[in-house]
Chains A and B, each alone.
Chain A
């Protein structure tokens, strides 16, 4: 027999309370009726199962490391035995992600190794003259998180090119900060996240390289910003690959808010129409209020051979408000309408046959495929800053790592002039979509023709979910 107190009758008339209060009381009782104490035996089961999974994960990691070592030895033997002729130009290779598997939780050594591989800085304490970065981030938690990250890098992974990172945090006006940064020869680059307002890019006017975590129309000069447009363009190329001329392709822009005044799109630029010029393309903006079933019907796209779903990336930690809903709703809609088009998306959970196009640095998560998100989450000292929006700091810390990588790539701080970093960006081919100010990244070919200016990515990876696993597909070459 239940020991619970008899609940109130669901809709008991109450002259003193409005209907809403009665409902609220009833609903709370309904909630309480489902609760039960944590079973004592449950904890033991959870710990046992959890430990089993930890062992499994460790075994997998050891297996991967062993495979890498074996591959490394094989590669070494190949090069030592085949010989090389320096007069022969290197063969074009398709780049693969910097580091393959994202790390869910990591110890310091794992974090250090990942950062060293990604940035090119040496493992160990930084020494020598500091390398300065100008920071223009009005919200204190961001600056605090960056400071924590810089401290960690200085202690563990050689700061920037082996020298300690010093953050010059400026809280004055855009123009004052720009002048201050420009006047300091030790400032190598500027990082900002003025994503709600005018970019410091115009004030800097190319006097220092700028990395902004939001691509603003005011971003000018030598500047780098995250981009999602190239991923969407790559999705359009994939749609072209899996359809025939004249086929109907539906492109759904699932941005949170309407963008373009006519199509309502945010992520889908005219480049998509250009890429799919030989297809019957319909581009729509998916509304949160409208079921995707209706979106497909209203767009007259029941006969679509392919559907491109353009929405920001999703992962375990950072969930774009609409993203999961849009993916699930699309799957449900296709079931309801008995449609089987090729589906090309970027941030959805696995669905049989669906294609996934990789994303890189973007507004939501830095360098998702490389594992930077997991690393910045796991870095000691981060995530605990009072008032910091959960996980938001990953984007800014990811930006710092990306800039350090560029600085190392050009040969260190002394060589990291705006012009040198500009060149480094020109040479950037991917696979991580990283936009760059007003640069013209490729003098010829499709990349230069695209409407969205200056995005330097060339190769974007594609996978298809088949029989419960992701199968790598030929990467998209946006310059083809």
Chain B
């Protein structure tokens, strides 16, 4: 199935497979951006999709089941991140060997590392907007803040990131 195939966000009567195929690319991008690790990201997406499958009878009635998945995923990423901090020294060594498989370019790796150093909410907002490819309204709905807050977070993050990446 092509990525361009339009699937309506109303999944009433839609299948779990449709949700899986449509949402996976953005979910995995968000998870990779937030965790900084491809395999961990994919594992967290799989866990999220298992939860979605188990609760499918309920979730299918939501206007945007993808939003539910993103919310569950971002919480999982945050827990994951918290656990990882306790192993920071070990991970610092691991990170050096990370780009051994095909992945994003060096500039993009640096970009996402800088994003991960942002405070929690801007980090989430930037990730959902650019990696999750969500609209400002969607991000606001997922993070549960007004759209104006999302816009100001994006604007401030942009300044910080541009400074940090040395443009």
**Chain A residues packing against B (C-beta within 8 Å):** 2, 7, 9-11, 19-20, 23-24, 26-38, 42-43, 45-47, 49-50, 53-54, 57, 104-105, 316, 319-321, 324-325, 328-329, 331-332, 349, 377-378, 383-384, 390
Q: Is the pair B50, A36 in contact by a Cβ cutoff of 8 Å?
A: no
Q: Which of A30, A43, A349, A383 has the most CB of B within 10 A?
A: A30
A324 CA / B74 CA spacing, docked (Å): 11
| Whole-angstrom CA separation of A189 from B58 in the bound complex | 31
Majority secondary structure of chain A interface residues (helix, strand, loop or mixed): helix
Q: A50-B53, A328-B82 are in contact. Are A33 and B24 (CB under 8 A)?
A: no
Interchain CB contact under 8 A, A54 and B158: no
Structural contact, B21 and A34, CB atoms closer than 8 A = no
CA distance in complex: A50, B58 (Å): 15
Q: Which residues of B, 2-20, contact A by the 8 Å Cβ criterion?
A: 3, 12, 16-17, 20
Q: Is the CB of A43 within 8 A of B17?
A: yes
- Tell me the chain B residues, 130-148 only, with Cβ under 8 Å from chain A: 130-133, 141, 143-145
With contacts A34-B104, A384-B12 known, is A46 near B58, CB below 8 A?
A: no
Interchain nearest-CB distance for B163 vs A (Å) = 11
| 19 A-B residue pairings within 8 Å (CB atoms) | A7-B108, A23-B162, A27-B111, A27-B126, A28-B130, A29-B108, A30-B104, A30-B131, A31-B131, A31-B133, A32-B29, A33-B103, A33-B105, A35-B25, A35-B26, A37-B24, A49-B53, A50-B54, A324-B78
Q: In the complex, what residues of A have CB within 8 A of residue B104's CB?
A: 30, 33-34
Do A34 and B53 touch (CB < 8 A)?
no
Contact status A378-B58, CB under 8 Å: yes
Could you say which of A37, A46, A105 has the most chain B C-beta atoms within 10 Å of its C-beta?
Answer: A46
Among B57, B120, B145, B167, point to the contact of A105 (Cβ < 8 A).
Answer: B57
- Give the contacting residue for A33; candidates B61, B79, B108, B133; CB below 8 A: B108
* B167 x A34 contact (CB < 8 A): no
Point out the residues of chain B lying under 8 angstroms from A54, CB to CB.
54
Given the contacts A45-B46, A390-B63, A104 and B111 also touching, CB distance less than 8 Å? no
Asked if B55 CB lies within 8 Å of chain A CBs, one says yes
**Min distance, Cβ A218 to any Cβ of chain B, angstroms:** 26
Q: Is B73 positioned at the interface, with any CB of A under 8 Å from its CB? A: no
Q: In the bound complex, what is the Cα–Cα distance between A38 and B24 (angstroms)?
A: 5
Which 5 A-B residue pairings sit nearest by Cβ, starting from the closest? A38-B24, A50-B53, A33-B104, A34-B29, A31-B130
CB distance from A30 to the nearest CB of B (A): 4
Contact of B28 among A2, A34, A50, A332 (CB under 8 A): A34
- Could you say which residues of chain B place their CB within 8 Å of the CB of A321? 143-145
Contact for A50 among B25, B50, B103, CB less than 8 A: B50
Residue B71 interfacial (CB < 8 Å)? yes
Closest B residue by C-beta to A381: B61
Verify if B84 is at the interface (C-beta below 8 Å from A): no
Are B165 and A37 touching (Cβ within 8 A)?
A: no
**Is B49 a contact partner of A42 (Cβ separation < 8 A)?**
yes
A34 pairs with B121, CB closer than 8 A: no
Query: Roughly how many angstroms separate A28 CA and B111 CA in the complex, as a whole number?
Result: 11
**Is the Cβ of B130 less than 8 Å from the Cβ of A325?**
no
In the complex, besides A10-B107, A38-B24, A321-B143, 16 extra interface pairs with C-beta distance below 8 angstroms are A2-B102, A11-B165, A23-B158, A27-B126, A30-B130, A32-B29, A34-B32, A35-B28, A37-B24, A49-B53, A50-B53, A50-B54, A328-B82, A328-B120, A378-B58, A384-B12
The residue from A36, A104, A320, A325 contacting B120, defined by CB atoms under 8 A apart: A325
Known interface pairs A42-B24, A104-B55, A321-B145; A19-B167 also in contact (CB < 8 Å) = yes
Chain A residues with CB below 8 A from B57, complex form = 105
CA distance A21 to B82 in the complex (A): 33
When chains A and B are docked, how far (Å) is the Cα of A381 from the Cα of B145? 27
Q: Please tell me if B118 contacts chain A, counting CB pairs below 8 Å.
A: no
Q: How far is the CA of A38 from the CA of B49 in the complex (A)?
A: 11
In the complex, residue of chain B having the shortest beta-carbon distance to the beta carbon of A52: B50
- B46 and A46 form a contact (CB under 8 A): yes
Contacts of B50 in A (CB 8 A): 46, 49-50, 53
CA distance A329 to B57 in the complex (A): 34
Chain B residue at minimal CB-CB distance from A378: B58
* Candidates A27, A45, A332; contact of B130 at CB < 8 Å: A27
Most B CB contacts (10 A, CB to CB) among A9, A43, A329, A378 go to A43
